[in-house]
Amino acid sequence: CPYVSWLWRGCSTKKPLCPLISPHLVGGVEVETSVPAWQTIEDNYPMLQNGGRYQPPDCEARHRVALIVPFRDRDIHLKIFLNNIHSFLMRQQLDYGIFVIDLEESIPFNRALLLNVGFLEASKVHDYQCFVFHDVDLIPENDHNTYSCPEQPRHMSVAIDKMNYRLPYTTIFGGVSAMTKEQMLTVNGYPNKFFGWGGEDDEMYNRIKYHNLTISRYTGDVARYKMLAHRRNQENPRRFDLIKSEKRQNHSDGLSSLEYRVIGRVQRRLFTYIRVSVDQIT
Ligand code: BGN
């Protein structure tokens, strides 16, 4: 602020609130599936702050959103994801950050635990109100699919090309889903004991239901995604039993019982990378 105007009117650097509907939206978008070099993707996004964070330059965002991306050894997917998602989120005029959470190799993959870690770590760097838990292999195809958090938890990957753009079952909560900070705290986050593929999202659904919340969804013409090709992950044979035992214990394993060690943290231009280790809890 110039000194004189500050004396005279009280200087306000506050930007106007962004419009309810961003003027930059285009609707359907062609997913860019090329795999550019890291430098090329970074050069595409000079307006990013370090750590993959962004605020619209000309208005105050209505939503502060952290994207939490659980990750293991999928560099190609991550490149394609970031190359697409940044322009998508910028068009939605969000105040957002992307957090990629990786797990030490010797430990079986645990998507739900990494989502909990991402929730806690992102909350330390900014006052995010909304968390979008995002698989790295899903790329949105329509920017009317706003990455914000409504009153109820929102399942976002409603229509996926590989699933013929149909919801496989009505209680599904995997792929891409959004919850407010308050909702995450209410349900005590995701479970920590689901090592291997499957069931952790169904357990989150049970928590949502247990706390009298419901799932909301956009319609399938908007909430559309392209799924990148990948090999099948190792299924967790214990997932059915784990779901039953969580029910008996009133879904109490979660944020409150999570223990982890951060073993790496890098603020890259396109994302914040956090690598963790945990003891394998049974
Ligand atoms: C379901 C998995 C989900 C997964 C979807 C993807 C289970 C547990 C059954 C009690 N659930 O079958 O985790 O997101 O498939 O379509 O395996």
Per-residue DSSP letters for 36-69?
A: --HHHHHHH-TTPBTTTEE--SSSB-S-EEEEEE
Least confident of 52-61, 165-174, 225-234: 225-234
Annotated catalytic residue within 127, 232, 248, 259 = 232
Q: Considering only CA atoms, which residue is closest to atom 7 of ligand 1?
A: 199
Q: Considering only CA atoms, which residue is closest to atom 6 of ligand 1?
A: 174
Catalytic site includes residue 144: no
pLDDT of residue 216: 98
Q: How far apart are CA 147 and CA 67, in angstroms?
A: 9
Is the pLDDT at 12 greater than 70? The verdict is no
Q: Which residue has the higher pLDDT, 281 or 132?
A: 132
Tens of pLDDT, residue by residue over 241-266, are: 999 999 999 999 999 999 999 999 99
Q: What's the angle, vertex CA 265, arms to CA 102 and CA 256, rounded to 5?
A: 65
Is the pLDDT at 73 greater than 80? The verdict is yes
Average pLDDT over residues 169-192: 98
Ligand 1 contact via 246 beta carbon (within 6 Å): no
Dihedral, CA of residue 114, residue 229, residue 169 and residue 149, to nearest 10: 50
Q: Give the residue from 43, 41, 129 showing the smallest Cα distance to 85.
A: 41
pLDDT of residue 142: 98
Catalytic site includes residue 235: no
Rounded to the nearest whole angstrom, what is the distance from the C-alpha of residue 57 to the centroid of ligand 1? 40
What's the predicted TM-score (pTM) here? 0.95
Write 142-145 long-range contacts (CB < 8 A, 24+).
142/27, 142/28, 142/29, 142/221, 142/222, 142/223, 142/224, 143/25, 143/26, 143/27, 143/29, 143/88, 143/91, 143/92, 144/25, 144/27, 144/218, 144/222, 145/218, 145/222, 145/223, 145/224
Taken in order 262, 263, 267, 273, is the CA torsion positive or negative? negative
Is the pLDDT at 1 greater than 70? The verdict is no
Pairing of strands 130-134, 272-277: unpaired
Buried b (16+ CB within 10 A) or exposed e, 9-21: eeeeeeeeebeee
Is the pLDDT at 89 greater than 80? The verdict is yes
Catalytic site includes residue 134: no
Is the pLDDT at 2 greater than 90? The verdict is no
Tens of pLDDT, residue by residue over 24-41, are: 999 999 999 999 999 999
pLDDT of residue 232: 82
pLDDT of residue 193: 96
Rounded to the nearest whole angstrom, what is the distance from the C-alpha of residue 219 to the centroid of ligand 1? 21
pLDDT of residue 230: 85
Pick from 171, 177, 202 the residue to mutate for probing ligand 1's pocket: most ligand atoms within 8 Å of its CB.
202
Q: What is the mean pLDDT of the chain?
A: 95
Catalytic site includes residue 230: yes
Is the pLDDT at 144 greater than 80? The verdict is yes
Ligand 1 contact via 199 beta carbon (within 6 Å): yes
